[in-house]
Structure 1
Amino acid sequence: MTRQSLKQSLLLQLAVIYTRYLIGGAFVFASLIKIKGHRFTQIPDDGGHSAGHFFEMMYQSGLYWQFLGWAQLLAGLLLLTQRFAMLGAVLFFGIIANVFVITLSYPFAYTPVITGLMLLATLLLLLWDWNRLRVLLNLPVVAEQTSPLYESPLWAGVGAVLFAFTAGYRVLTDRYDFLFWLGGCVGVGAVALLVGLWRQRAGAGLAPPAVERNARAT
């Protein structure tokens, strides 16, 4: 199977869209507590070489703690927009690679599995956009065909709803129900998928078949 045939797979296109939502939303969710100047975790500070001590030192830094939050928020937001997701994936990769190494460096139980999967997902997103990213190596951009559903502005609107829901929930309260937030996001994503598939079947409201936005700055 060629790369072009993979890019034309509707299943893979939807997988890419929802992977951006998943890891982008996770970063937005995690970022706002840092921006608000609160501790991200309640792991006890045992001193020395412990995860709790490491997090406490970052929290006590103040400015650096909030800088991490803003960087995560920006990366997550860019991914959720879909339109600027390639730039978001590049930024996300640098941050999640750093987080992954941190979780390997301290006793975090099974956390490296989670951060490792997020790193892998980001690498796959970068691979998806490789024919545009190759310009960074002074190689020509390669045009690729995508489906009208993939190009639909629907996904940018869904990303805006997910960002507003996540950011609003985290800003308005310091105590949160993770399952409520996750359920809300899954609900929004499920409705969007049904709407997108229905519109594709009806042939209404979608962009005409076009070459992917390779020449446009992302």
Structure 2
Amino acid sequence: MSFLSSMGVIRFWRTALTLLLGITFFTSGMAKLYYNHLFWGWIGPVWLAERLQPFQLGLYVAFIAASQLVTGFLLLTRRFWLLGAVLLVPMLANILLVTISLQWPGTPYIVAVLLLMNLALLFSEHQRLRVLWSRAAYVPASAGPARTVTGHVVWVAGLLLSVSAAPISYVLLPLSYWLAIGGVVLACCSFLADSYSPRRLRATMP
């Protein structure tokens, strides 16, 4: 019983960290790309492009913002959260060095804490990740329906909706918010699409 309860605690904190990091970087990327930065987010700076433009780094900032958006989406929608956590390591390390180099007060500490949180998230899945440095095979426990092409298509459609929200914000701001939120909701529903995929339904028919 104690083992099961400890596993439950680990799953709870893993989910909490995943959602926190997902919301943080999804909103951060959106806020940098949105019209007049009119998208909520608790971590910045949204004026990164303006600060780095004199160094001819505008394209770099756009790349960072898009990477934050996609990585945050991976974590937030949970379907490919482990991939998002892996991708977040080099991005956070990159942001940490940039903020240290520019001597921004306080920001490196915040980024360092987020990096430690992400490393803790990855450590919770060390059994799956050990295939990167070991030949030990990993046999995952069965949990829920298998991932299907239908579910993947639904998830990608959600990602495209959310990504399209940023450029649409320059044309029709209210619609862009609905697209951003709708894309996240649709991607979260990809697990339901797995259960109702045509192949799985045919396999369960008498």
TM-score (normalizing by structure 2): 0.58
Aligned match for 1:137, one of 128, 133, 137:
133
* Range with bigger deviation, 26-35 or 80-89: 26-35
Structure 2, unpaired ranges of 5+: 38-44, 146-158, 171-206
Query: In the alignment, which residue of structure 2 is the partner of 1:21?
Result: 19
The answer to whether residue 78 in structure 2 is matched with residue 86 in structure 1 is no
Question: Given that residues 82 and 122 in structure 2 are in contact (C-alpha distance below 8 angstroms), is that contact kept between their aligned partners in structure 1?
Answer: yes
Deviation at 1:6, TM superposition (A): 8.4
For 2:121, what is the secondary structure of its paired residue? helix
Whole-Å Cα distance in 2 between the matches of residues 91 and 32 of structure 1? 18
Cα RMSD (Å): 4.2
Deviation at 1:23, TM superposition (A): 1.0
The answer to whether residue 102 in structure 2 is matched with residue 106 in structure 1 is yes
Q: Deviations over 1:82-136 (max 9, x none)?
A: 2211100010111011112222223222212211110001111111111111112
Deviation at 1:16, TM superposition (A): 0.7
Question: What code does the residue aligned with 1:62 have?
Answer: G
Question: Given that residues 28 and 72 in structure 1 are in contact (C-alpha distance below 8 angstroms), is that contact kept between their aligned partners in structure 2?
Answer: yes
* Range with bigger deviation, 75-84 or 86-95: 75-84
Q: Deviations over 1:29-69 (max 9, x none)?
A: 111233348674458x8xxxxxx4xx3446x5333222212
For 1:9, what is the secondary structure of its paired residue? helix
> Of the two structures, which has the highest relative contact order with CA contacts closer than 8 Å and spacing of 6 or more?
1
Query: In the alignment, which residue of structure 1 is the partner of 2:194?
Result: none
Query: In the alignment, which residue of structure 2 is the partner of 1:127?
Result: 123
Question: What code does the residue aligned with 2:11 have?
Answer: Q
**Paired residue total:** 159
Query: In the alignment, which residue of structure 1 is the partner of 2:92?
Result: 96
Whole-Å Cα distance in 2 between the matches of residues 79 and 111 of structure 1? 22
User: % of aligned pairs identical?
Assistant: 28
Task: Pick the structure with more helix per residue.
Answer: 2
